[in-house]
Amino acid sequence: MNHPSPALVARLLQPASIAIIGVSADARSLGGVVLGNLERFGYRGDIHLVSRNSPEVNGRACVQTVDQLPHGIDVAVLTVPEAAVLGTVQACGARGVGAVVVFASGYAEAGPEGEARQEALAAAARAAGIALAGPNCMGLTNFRAGIPLTFESIEPYPSSDVPGVSIVAQSGAMANNIREAMIGRGLPITHSVSTGNEAVLSLEDYVEYFIADVNTCVIAVYAEQVRQPLRFLELAGRARAAGKPIVLTMIGRSERAREAAQSHTGALTGDYATASALLGAEAVIVATTLDELFDVIPLLLRHPQPSAAGLAFVTGSGAMKNVALDLGQDLGLEFPAFTHGTVEKLQTILPGYAVSENPLDYTTVSMRDPALMGTVIDVVVADPNCGGVIVAQMAGSALGQRDKAEHMVPAVARADKPAALVIMGDDGPLHPVLADAVRTSGVPFFRSPDRAMRAMALVNRYGLALEQRREAAAPAVLPALSHPPSAFPEGGVIAEYRGKAWLAQAGLPTPPGALARDVDEAVRIATGLGWPVVLKAQASALPHKSDVGGVIVNIGDEAGLRAAWTRMQDDVARARPDLVLDGILVEKMGARGLELVVGARRDPQWGPIVLVGLGGIWIEVLKDVRLLPADADEAHIVRELGKLKAAAMLDGLRGQPPVDKRALARAVATVGALMRTMPEIREIDINPLVAYPGSVLALDALIVCESKDDRR
């Protein structure tokens, strides 16, 4: 797909000339609102009006048709009904208009007929070289340049000399929601864009523009569907290189949300878990709630390149210290030990009964000398083990609040790493002196320690992701196949015996065994392997063998094997009378170990994703898995293994020896390499992969490949 050039997007977002088509003298009409916004913002470019019924609006002359407009206008805002949109866009193309904004609805969100109308509209815009925003959108505003192109009546927002947040949302209401949250916190806003149905311009086009925009520091995204996932992931890498965090909130965790998205914007939402894992691996900050999105942006605007170090928590309450420890554990936040130098400095400041540890309760030391609260914060912020700090304290008396305004707020404001100030008490009133100090300082401010910690957890995860991507940038780290296997000649489900032989070629350990066509051959194979053995029925049309009696384990001698062979043949024939087996796989019975699952699938939108977790029957019940990008290296995989709920089982429980995590990570990396290098593979499922103290063994495997017809 050819994407609109950044120069075309620039004409939309920074127009020197604007036409409002369908304008009315009614100030409440869509065109009247757009014109009122432009005049209220003091837009300095040329404004052209098109109206069939009014010779002038607000003292500005109107022309009756698009054909009467000057050639080469940058943006035309269409405030006409859906029936007139297509013809108007075609007329704009003839006049060399660079971009159009379409508010009208009745397109892809309205079903198949609307989708056809949207395709025709997109084709007309592309044929004319027009960057089309919408349809079914609320428009956009360039706050830095004072250019509002929206049918929502809005007020100018004071400009700032520092780079701000640019907002792009597929919902107009959510774009406004994020914008108002930023205004409420006094944060600099550069742009706010509602993309609507994205017939031509998609959120990726805006993100690409904002990455290059010198006035943008943080990019906030609300998505109902990322329509170009691979491009978005590539842009995430570019944003990371530019030092610009992308904070993304997207719907789709629930089945009903996915259904609602289809009726709201015609979006066909992809797999949320897959998208989240791959986006997170590219250092996109995936905020699961709007509160998280609102709360993390102030921290990132001040420190867009945080470190991966853990969090320091400073309070004057022993109870709050314990609350922080509990919530930190829930959020996966580390409270690293202070360095010896920090402890020594704190001990000279704090009373003897205070414990100079992280989280830090500095007790009531500030009551006798309020300046000490600032000194304590400075000492903690300077600790190299800590990548960020939260200062949480009750508001206190009027005198205490004035002390905090004079000493605590400035200390948080001068921190050279992400720092948040929490004045607890929920909606309890603040003294005007403290409220003014917080507002003028610009410090990220919270009334809830929970929200502050959740935001800081996102910042910390972002710092970790940045560090991991820097580590993975070295070419030698990228996992590769030590023994690339030959490609499968056909598609569909691959019978286990063939799939495991193929995986063994790739370097994955599998049990010794062979396919038997009759019972005598099975006896010879088993005798050569040594007892006990396992029998497994084999056919590509039998992916789930145990459901039909196609697996018998722990067979200890020839008589048992012959009886098992007969029983399996009878059970499979009774359950699947139409099935023709390739034969029965005879394998050496594997030793008991920790059963895990390692799998991968090729998402049609996002590409390959790898899974590792607790396997066997437990995967269906506990769903204790981690999702990884296919290029995850062994160090990354080992870190993710440590995040499993069952991570302690890897280290050995109740006298069991620990498993070989490196061998397990190599197996996971091999599966990822197979998915990267062999695009015909749709799915790999190794369940169980048994882990031992010194090795791993793939006991069962399901592989699905594309057919030759699918590859064409």
- Pull the structure tokens for residue 48: 């052209």
- Pull the structure tokens for residue 413: 């404001």
Whether residue 150 is contained in a domain is answered as yes
Write phi, then psi, for 637 (nearest 5 degrees).
-65, -45
Q: Would you say 220 and 214 are in contact if contact means Cβ atoms under 8 Å apart?
A: no
CATH number of the CATH domain containing 581 = 3.30.1490.20
Write down the mean pLDDT value for the chain. 92
Decide if pLDDT at 159 tops 50. yes
Tell me, yes or no, whether 526 and 603 share the same domain: no
Closest CA to 494 of 504, 502, 485: 502
Q: Which tens digits make up the pLDDT trace of 160-205?
A: 889 999 999 999 999 999 999 999 999 999 999 999 999 999 999 9
Decide if pLDDT at 446 tops 70. yes
- State which of 444, 467, 490 marks the end of a domain: 467
Decide if pLDDT at 262 tops 70. no
How many domains, the chain? Answer: 4
Tell me, yes or no, whether 168 and 295 share the same domain: yes
- State which of 531, 562, 588 marks the end of a domain: 588
Residue 386, SS3 per DSSP: strand
Tell me, yes or no, whether 148 and 17 share the same domain: yes
Rounded Cα distance, 571 and 581, in Å: 13
Q: Would you say 188 and 160 are in contact if contact means Cβ atoms under 8 Å apart?
A: yes
Tell me, yes or no, whether 190 and 321 share the same domain: no
Distances in Å between the Cα of 600 and the Cα atoms of 622, 704, 705 are 18, 10, 12
- State which of 538, 567, 588 marks the end of a domain: 588
Rounded Cα distance, 189 and 215, in Å: 9
Residue 669 domain boundaries = 594-705
450 pLDDT band, cuts 50/70/90, is very high
Q: Which tens digits make up the pLDDT trace of 297-354?
A: 999 999 999 999 999 999 999 999 999 999 999 999 999 999 999 999 999 999 989 9
Only one residue has tokens 């949109």, namely 85
The three state secondary structure string of 3-22 is: CCCHHHHHHHHCCCEEEEEC
229 pLDDT band, cuts 50/70/90, is very high
Closest CA to 66 of 94, 47, 41, 42: 94
Find the length of the chain. 712
Percentage with pLDDT > 90 across the chain: 84
Q: Would you say 418 and 302 are in contact if contact means Cβ atoms under 8 Å apart?
A: yes
Only one residue has tokens 């409220």, namely 435
CATH number of the CATH domain containing 602 = 3.30.470.20
